Amino acid sequence: MEQTWRWFGPGDSVSLDHIRQAGATGIVTALHEKATGEEWSQEEILARKALIETQAPGRTPLRWSMVESVPVHDDIKVQAPGFERYVATYCGTLRNLAACGIDRVCYNFMPLIDWTRTDLAYQLPSGAAALRFDADLFAAFDLFILEREGAQADHTSEQIARAEKTLAGLDESQRRKLTANIIAGLPGRATEAHTLDGFRSALERYTLVSPERLRQNLVDFLKQVVPVAAEVGIRLAIHPDDPPRPLLGLPRVVSCAEDLRLLFKAVDHPCNGLTLCVGTFGVRADNNLTSMACEFGPRIHFAHLRGIKREADGLSFYEGEHLASDADMVGIVQALLTEENRRIAEGREDYSIPIRPDHGHQMLDDLGKAVNPGYSAIGRLKGLAEIRGVITALSYKDRLRVNQGA
């Protein structure tokens, strides 16, 4: 497996040398300064690639191994009039990336909002801080701060009562912070910042978009971009919905194994692949991550190896330790290694699956620093070291088994 690290570009507080010191050799990044829907030129791509791959004498080489992400414009997701121009620019970006030697692209099809958390610095018993999704806080925002039309129908009477009580316990600054956590945008322009009124207006665009309609819009999009990806040698890896269930009345269509089966059946091409995000899929107890890693192995072009801890209400969760979560991380890594061995047996040179630690805890000297939420250095270094240990142990075990059988 190629050990990679997400980097948000020259302004990231975690430098390329920090990444080298963490032991990663692959960089996962994007042209975050580009507006969604704007084509990336070859000149811009090559400039960023040179920044990553040109190192001082004696430095460990790095390579731009994965794009995360080329965002899909919301006009494509709702098929607004004129959305075709954004499909065309998306295809243009894929062609330009391939021309610059970059062949894997992670993307998502989440309506309006990307990964969503209510708390960006939840205090753990250890003193470290983690990302957390509190269902009652989120319901309080939806019902009483955003005051979304139709929100009452999406929550049970018990949830509404808890949300009302939760809101009453928040002062004005806490309410502003909750709102900002949900709608103020994410690292690397993953989502744009909104005002409450702007957010309400953006939500209205999805009023008539059912889950079935959104799924068909995704299939329509892929039927146009997958042939281009195949032509130029790009592998697309869709990221699941985070959390993997409907929020704010917005549909979700990449949340479970059945969603993936439908997607890969509708556009049946190896370039139409998956980012196996363990933490995201793991929010749902009915997602068996080890089974999914085995079933969809040939489609896995990228993996985010992190875990979450589900809370007692079944809806809330927080980011857990990489090896101490609700996911069977050892079993998942073994499934990915097995898939790589299958590819090697086929004689494929592109057998390696890029992996990266994700949403590390803020800890030690990173506490109190201004960092991208979930992307401080030390917590991810710890996560990568733990995953590296699992890979090393399982690989050694496999070699030992082969030698004993020889």
* Residue 398 pLDDT: 74
* pTM confidence score: 0.95
Phi (first) and psi of residue 67, to 5 degrees: -95, 125
| Spatial distance between the Cα atoms of 122 and 125, rounded to a whole number of angstroms | 10
Per-residue pLDDT at 188 = 45
Q: Which DSSP helix (H) or strand (E) runs through 204?
A: helix 196-204
Q: Which residues are catalytic?
A: 239, 277, 304, 358-359, 375
Residue-range domain boundaries for the chain: 2-405
* pLDDT tens digits along 341-350: 999 999 999 9
Quote the pLDDT of residue 189: 45
Q: Is the peptide bond before 81 cis (omega within 30 degrees of 0)?
A: no
Name all contacts of 346-354 with Cβ < 8 Å and 24+ positions apart: 350/103, 352/1, 352/2, 353/1, 353/2, 353/300, 353/301, 353/302, 353/303, 354/1, 354/2, 354/4, 354/26, 354/28, 354/65, 354/66, 354/104, 354/301, 354/302, 354/303
How does pLDDT run across 124-168, given as a tens digit for each residue? 999 999 999 999 999 999 999 999 999 999 999 999 999 999 999
Count of residues making up the chain? 406
Quote the pLDDT of residue 176: 93
Strand order of the β-sheet with 317-319 is 119-123, 129-133, 317-319, 308-310
- Residue 187 is predicted with a pLDDT of 46
CATH class of 2-405: alpha beta
Residues of the chain with pLDDT under 50: 186-189
